[in-house]
Amino acid sequence: MKILTVLTYYRPHTSGLTIYVERLAKSLVKLGHEVTVLTSQYEKDLPREEVVDGVRIIRAPVLFRVSKGVIMPTFGWLAWKLVSSHDVIHLHLPQFDAAGVALRGKILGKPTLITYHCDLLLPRSMVNRLINYVVHLMNHLAGILADRVCAYTEDFASHSPYLLRYADKLEVIYPPVVMPNVSDQEVVEFRERVNPENYSPVIGMATRFASEKGVEILLNALPGVLSVFPDTKVLYAGQYQDVMGETAYFQRLLPRIRTYQEKGRWKFLGVLDQEEMAQFYSCLDVLVIPSLNSTETFGLVQIEAMIRGTPSIASNLPGVRVPPRLTGMGEVVPIGDSRALAEAILKVVSEPEKYHRPGQEIADLFDPLANAAAYQALYTRMLEGFS
């Protein structure tokens, strides 16, 4: 079948949402489907159209930005053209343009599915308050028009005000996670590069440097960890400079981070490719996800780390707390509680054998092809309902 996938940002932009959609799109191609991604040309040097790993990508030019949103004058025309030529429409929310695409699907009689990845909660300001309201409204209009709505977990779905409104349309499909195999020698070489002092234990974070990710919660927890393990080091993987809408947050925390950098206790690694991420996880004693709100709904990095044998500590957020509880490979701590995070880190690094599970079992549960097969079955049921 021909599947149209629509989202505001797609690769090479790096976020949990873009990685999810890329893995799903590539897996659907492997299952024999034609997949087109309609997204924004958020950087001018990105091609308007290209094919990557069998996935056709069409990018609408951006006229200007409003906070993290983009205004694309030709998006509507592209949406009409593509909706009419595809069998199924798959929207990934939050997304300002979703309602318009869902309306086109309704008018043209095309089954439309939403995967709801997270809430949109922009930093506080009058402009962002208006943007939040408008995007929430458009998300709800899309939910009304869509035929099915998907969530990662029952836990998040049962706590999400958005998803509770569409419970009669709800489907739950575990997210796709994959980690490449890397050799022991590659891990050793990576460790020598990022931690030449061989400091231990090593705490990891893997995310964009954004206010909702709770970087300051880890910063506040570090003194308690260092008091017991003075050679602790933090490795931070992900974009940390020039993150859209997060410059002020980064600048506010940077002086404290620099004090740890000067002592060799904190290292930014930047954006890593998949092989490097596998090496990164293998160098950690624990991964932390101290997220603060429902913009985080699962934390794919937790499963990636677990496949490589590394436990995680997650905030007690719906969905985010699922990986450590489902697998037993980690702990859950109260939201925003630095002392509890420090205690959990000490517990996990002191009893590593307690948190070990076979990586292959976890990999099988979150196999991207299993995720794509579940969506394929859902698409088929939707098409049969329209026939």
Task: Give backbone dihedrals phi and psi of 268, rounded to 5 degrees, phi first.
Answer: -85, 130
Contacts of 134 (CB under 8 A, 6+ apart): 96
> What does the alpha-carbon distance between residue 161 and residue 178 come to, in Å, rounded to a whole number?
30
pLDDT at position 226: 97
Count H helices, E strands: the chain?
15, 16
Q: Strand 312-315 to strand 69-71: parallel, antiparallel, or no bridges (unpaired)?
A: unpaired
Domains and CATH numbers, the chain: 2-176+367-386 (3.40.50.2000), 184-365 (3.40.50.2000)
Determine the pLDDT at residue 175. Answer: 95
pLDDT at 128: 67
Predicted local confidence at residue 105, as pLDDT: 97
- Give 221-231 pLDDT, tens digit per residue: 999 999 999 99
Q: Is 358 helix (H, G, I), strand (E, B) or coil?
A: coil
- Tell me what pLDDT residue 127 has: 64
Q: What does the pLDDT read at residue 322?
A: 97
Residue stretches of the chain with pLDDT short of 70: 67, 121-124, 127-128, 131, 387
Give exposure, 102-112, as e/b (b: 16+ Cβ within 10 Å). Answer: bbbbbeeebbb
Contact 233, 268 (CB under 8 A): no
pLDDT score at 121: 63
DSSP 309: T
Instruction: At 373, list the tokens.
Output: 């097969």
Sort 134 into a burial class: Cβ within 10 Å, 0-12 / 13-18 / 19+: middle
The predicted pLDDT at position 118 comes to: 85
Q: What is the pLDDT of residue 6?
A: 98
